[in-house]
Structures are given as structure tokens and as C-alpha cells.
Chains A and B, each alone.
Chain A
Amino acid sequence: MLKKASIIVAMSLFTLSAQAVDVPISGTVQSRCVITTDTPGTYGNPNAYTLTTAAADGGVQPIVRYDVTLADAYYAQITTPTSFSTSPSLNDTVSWTGSTEVSSVSDATGMAGYESAKTVSGQTTQFDLTATGSTWFKSTSVATNGGNKAFPGGNYSATIEAVCVAK
């Protein structure tokens, strides 16, 4: 009898006072495209006015790895430098060229066609990641000082931008 009375009282109070409650919803999206620096690059200095990552000129090509676990869902966009991030005070304008190509793949049957299907726009190269697995891209960056003037002595650094763009 006591239990029944309590329930009735509670119900009566509920109907008399209306309330609003915000229920949170949360979630996490795991990235299906992971970018990792495999090999940092180094500029070689074949002459006084050129800095290049080409191995033939004493440089080291930077290599970046894309790990994709969802097929045909992303593009890999890699942009070679257009300026130094750190450098001594320059004495002229620097002209930049660069390129990116497929270095290695984890699945040749599905990825060997990336190279021939890539698109280039300015310093940016885009690859269509149609297969799951890992792909290594290597880039070449060449900086030439204007008027064939010698680069001032000092440390130079530049950055390659690698992006994974969802389709």
C-alpha cells in the first residue's frame, strides 16, 4: 500500500513539472589514411647557385609513406617547396622546381598504376589511392638562385607538404 502511494505521488509531480534534457552524442573517426615521413631529405649543392635533393648531385630525396586502409577513398597530394622555411638573407629571387613519383608500393598489382595515373599541377602532384596498403612517394626539389648568383652561406631548410584528401 505504501509503495503504491509513493508511485502515485511521483507520477503526479512529474506531470506537474515538464523538463528538457540534452543527451550528448560523441564518436571518433579513425583515420584511414596515415602519412609518415620515411626519409627526411637533404639538399645537395652541386654548384654555388643550386640546391637540389637529387642523389646524383649529393642530395637525399625525401620519402613519404601513405598507409591507406580504405580503398578508393583518398587522394594523395604532395607539394614540393616554393620557398625556404629557414635560410640566410637571400641576395636574389629563387626559382623552384620539383616533382614527385611513386617509389615503392606494397601491392604492385593494385598500385603500380599510380605513377602513370598521377596528375601534376604546378608543384603539386596528386595520386589516386585506389587500393589499400602502403605507398612510398619520393620527391625532388631544386632551388636555383636568380642570376646564377651564389647562395649566401648558412643553413637552408624547406618543407614538403603531404596531404591526404578524401574523395
Chain B
Amino acid sequence: MLKKLLLGVLVGFYPYYCYSDNIAPYYGTTGNAAQSGHSWSMKDVLPAPPGLDINGVFYRYTANKNPEDDMKVHVQNKNANGTGYVFRDTEDWSGAPGGIEVRKVIGIGDIPREAWGDGSIEVEGTGTVDDASVIYSYKVDPCYDPQFSPSCPGYKTPVPVVPTVNLDDLYDATKDEFVNLNDEEKLSIEENEERLAEEEEKEKEEAEEKKRKYRLEKLMSASDTAALFAENQRIEQMNNIMQNQINNTYLAATIPGGQYKETIRLVDAKLPDSKAGLRNGLAQQILHEKMISQQYK
């Protein structure tokens, strides 16, 4: 039970310690806002960090006046939205002698910087204000922007933004009218563009031609296969027909047994030479002799 209680206490305090150790708010004071005059802009007075709240104003000045004069002095800041004042403190010096200094510390409940408009010291009545000093105290919360640190509550891991680029918007020196090119360079660029266009067109045509050839080869290959198959079928059919004919004509005949003797007798006689052959042989001989004799001419 005790362990559970201790654990609960530790868990309860952990976020607080974690926050205060790493990203604790810090405090500071400005310089004298009235150093250069009795009116000032807060953006010139406050430091840069966002998340700044003003929590106090310390001012001092010496009122110079005659005792009989009425005088009020306002130390003030306009409301940034333009309506009234976000801070205004008034001292009534009426009836008081001059030469007395006022030193005042005024606490303010953490008013964000965005609410603070221009500041001023305003004198109402007769008299002057000398040696004025207006100092603001402030508190800065670094985690006002959670992305300030990974330790800040609400921090989100940033995702890099990849810019989208329109290629047409990229700079092209050849289309820049302010780039000075002579005629030869311009002609060279034009020729280069034409050549590139022609090469591109040629590549397209070659690719198309290859496709066409490929398709034709595929088609012819299929056609040849079909024709070859049909031819083989036809030859096979013819062979079959012929074989049937042979079978019917010859194989069904009956050859009688016995002896077959020579019945034709050639009688010896003189066989004359064929005159056609003689003529032919003579012509051949003449041609041969002509060929032989030509080599000696």
C-alpha cells in the first residue's frame, strides 16, 4: 500500500519536474523605455522572444512645478487593439512643491505582449517631468511555441516540406530575351534543336519499324507452320493413295509356279552409226578445234 502511494506521488510530480528542469520560464527587465523621450514603442523596448508576458512596471521621475499649480502625470500604455489603455497610473501633484521624485512599483498580472500598445508619460496641467525612467519586468515562456524544443508539451516532430516545382517555370537561358546571343550562336541553338527533334522522330520511327517487323515475323511464322503442316498432310494422303493402288494392283496378283524361259532372240546384224549422232559429233569437233585455234591468235 505504501509503495503504491509513493509511486502515485512520483508519477504525479514527474511531469512538473520534467517541465521545470528543461524548459522553465525565465524573467527579466527591460531598459529605460523613457530614455529617449516621453513616448515609446513597445517593440523597441521588449526583447524578441515570443511568449512574453509583462508582469510589472517600475517608474520614477521628478515633478517640477510651482506649489500652486495643478498637475497630474499619467504613465501609460495604450491598448494594442486601439481602445483605451492596457496600463495607466496617475499621480496627482496638485498642491505639492516641485522637485520631488516619485518611485513606483506596480505589479501586473501577466499581460501578453500582444496587448501592449505604445507607451508614454503624459502631463496634464502645469509642470514638467524630468529624469524619467520606465522599466517593465516580464516573464518569458519558451514553450509558448511548442516547436521550440522536443521537451515542450505539444511538440510535433516536423515533417520536411518538399516543394513542388513547375518545370515550365525553370529558367531557360535560351528563352531569356536579355541574354545576348550573336546570330551564329542563335543559329547553332536552332540547328541543335532541329537536330534533336529529328533524332527524336527518327528514334520513334525506328522503334515503330521494329515493332512492325516483329509483328510480321510472328505472323509469317504462324502462316509457314500452317502451310508446312498442310503440305505434310497432303503428301501423306498421296502416299497412302499410291500405296493402296500398289497394293490393289500388284499384291493381289497370283504368280504361277514353274520356269520362265527366254523367248526373245537377237539375231546378229550390222548396226550402222546414226547420222544424227555423226552430225552432232562433227559439230562438236569443229567447235573444239576453233577453241584450240583461238588461243594462238
Q: Footprint of B on A, CB under 8 Å?
A: 102-109, 112-113, 115-116, 134, 136
Contact = CB atoms under 8 A, between A and B. Distances in A.
7 contacts: A103-B100, A103-B101, A104-B60, A106-B105, A108-B92, A116-B67, A116-B95
B15 interface: no
B124 interface: no
A112 B96 contact: yes
Contacts of B91: 107-109, 112
Given A104-B60, A108-B91, A109-B91, A116 B96 contact: yes
B96 A115 contact: yes
A108 B67 contact: no
Tell me what chain B mostly uses at the interface: helix, strand, loop, or mixed.
strand
A105 B104 CA distance: 8
B101 A105 contact: yes
B100 A106 contact: no
Closest A-B pairs by Cβ, 9 of them: A112-B96, A108-B91, A104-B101, A109-B92, A108-B102, A104-B103, A115-B97, A109-B91, A112-B93
B103 A105 contact: yes
Contacts of A113: 95-96
A129 to B, nearest CB: 15
Contacts of B100: 102-105, 108, 112, 115
A116 B95 CA distance: 8
A68 to B, nearest CB: 15
B143 interface: no
A105 B102 contact: yes
Interface of B: 60, 63, 67, 73, 90-93, 95-97, 100-105
Contacts of B101: 103-105, 136
Contacts of B102: 104-108, 112
Contacts of A108: 63, 73, 91-93, 96, 100, 102
Contacts of A116: 67, 95-97
B226 to A, nearest CB: 117
Contacts of B104: 106-107
A113 B92 CA distance: 10
A112 B95 contact: yes
B96 A134 contact: no
B96 A106 contact: no
Nearest to B61: A108
A102 B63 CA distance: 13
Nearest to B94: A112
A121 B104 CA distance: 31
A104 B92 CA distance: 14
Nearest to B101: A104
